[in-house]
Every structure is written in structure tokens, then in C-alpha cells.
Amino acid sequence: SRVSALEIGLGYFGSTHVLWRLLFGHSATIECNKDRVFLFRENCRRHLGEHVLDDGKSSFFFGMSSSPSTLHMVRRHFGCNGIDLLFIDGDHRYESVVADWLLYHSLVAPGGIVAFHDAVAGISGGGVPQFLEELSSGNIDGVKRDVKRIIHSRDCGVAYYVNG
């Protein structure tokens, strides 16, 4: 099976998608803004000399991550093999982070990584850090998770745990 990453939210520049393409055999991103994906494609072509939408290493799902049709497309795409990385970087409101985690964390293979961007309250407005505290303490689903944080600024950072 191919090693794969699923990212929720492309962001303004798509830099994490480029990183996932370098680290994984296949990268997929859920993005609700089609213009961001097309701009990303043009920037990759211009700056990297790569056509990322047709090389088999990238997939994009257009729609809201919380949409049943998006979830269905993602599940159909990855099958039941599991993904190796889930990177949650969509809407940073608490309710949205909870929804993204509830819908997609079960796709992560044992030993895979579930990661969250903007793990510091300075950028996310509190939604991601609040969710991470509740996830660590077991208040989300009764399972305490060992959430690690990579933070080198007061405004942003990444948190992750290894799926057991």
C-alpha cells in the first residue's frame, strides 16, 4: 500500500501540501475554495516546474470537510487501508475542529499521525487549543491521548499524537 497523507484545508499558499508530496507517496487535500487549488496549481507550475494535479501524487476534494459527500469521496478514495497522516488545518473554530476530528480520525492507520495546525490560541482564537486540551484529558471520547506540541512562537504551532 502507498504511504499517504490527508490534509483538511489547503491554506493560502499550499506549502504543507508541497511538504506532504515530498514525504508521502500520495497526498490529498480537502478544500472548499476551488480558486485556492487552481492558484496552487499555477504557483507549483511556475515556481517548481511541476503539474501537481495530474501526476498521481496529489488529489483534491472540493467541498466542506463536514459534508457527507466529501467524507464519502475521501473514504472511497483511500479505501480501508488507512492513511498515515491526517493534518487538520481547516476552520479553526472549536466546533469545526471537533467535527473534522470525529469524521476523519478513524481513517488513520495504527501508528499513523493525527496532527493539528495552529495549536496556539494566538491565531486560532482558542478552538484548536481547547480541543487539544479536551482530547489530551479524554473528554472528547473517553480516551486520553499523548498530544505532543511543536511550538516555537506565541502565535502558531503544531500538535500531534500517534494513533494507537
Average pLDDT value over all residues in the chain: 89
Q: Which of these, 27, 26, 22, 52, lies nearest to 39 by C-alpha position? A: 52
pLDDT in tens, 62-77: 999 999 999 999 999 9
pLDDT band at 125 (very low <50, low <70, confident <90, very high): low
> By CB neighbour count within 10 A (0-12 exposed, 13-18 middle, 19+ buried), where does 48 fall?
exposed
Q: How far is CA 59 from CA 127, 139, 161, in A?
A: 27, 33, 24
0.95 exceeded by the pTM?
no
CB 75 within 8 A of CB 47: no
Provide the pLDDT for residue 1.
Answer: 44
Q: What is the share, in percent, of the chain residues with pLDDT greater than 90? A: 61
